[in-house]
Amino acid sequence: MSRMENDFPIVLDWAIGTQNCNEVRNTTVDLCMEHSLCIDSESGRGGYRCIYYEGYVGNPYLSLGCQDIDECTNNPCDGICTNTLGGFQCSCPKGYFGDGQKGRGCQKEYDFPILKLSLAWK
C-alpha cells in the first residue's frame, strides 16, 4: 500500500473568550500578564489575545512569562550599551562625544590649548 503525502498551510485563528480588551481590563478574566499587551481579536467573533511588549520575549499568559531582552548582547552601539527594561541606551565613554549609536558612534574630544594673553597699557 503506498501513501501519498501532501503539504498544505494551516491558519489558526484563536482568541480568549468573547469579551474584548476594554471589557476584561482590570478584571480576573484578563489573562495578559506583566509586560504584555491585550489586543482585540480581528475575527469578528469577539475575544482577545495577549502579546509581549516590544523589547521582551516569552509567554504573555504566564506569570513572569515576558522577560526583558538584553539588547546589548548583540552590540547595537559603537559606544557603551546600557540595557534598560524593554530597550537599551547608547552613550560614549569619557573623552568622547556623540550618541554612541552604531554607524554614528563616538568622536574623540580634542583638547585645544588655551592661549592666554595679557595686555598692559602705559
DSSP the chain: ---------------BSS--HHHHTTSTT----TTEEEEE-SSSS--EEEEEPTTEEE-TTSTT-EEE--GGGG--BSSEEEEETTEEEEE--TTEEE--BTTT-EEE---PPPPP------
104 pLDDT above the threshold of 90: no
pLDDT in tens, 107-116: 888 766 555 5
Share of the chain above pLDDT 70, in %: 89
pLDDT in tens, 15-28: 999 999 999 988 88
Sign of CA dihedral 93, 97, 85, 73: negative
pLDDT in tens, 41-91: 988 889 999 999 999 999 999 988 899 999 999 889 999 999 999 999 999
User: What was the pLDDT predicted at 102?
Assistant: 86
Mean pLDDT of the chain: 87
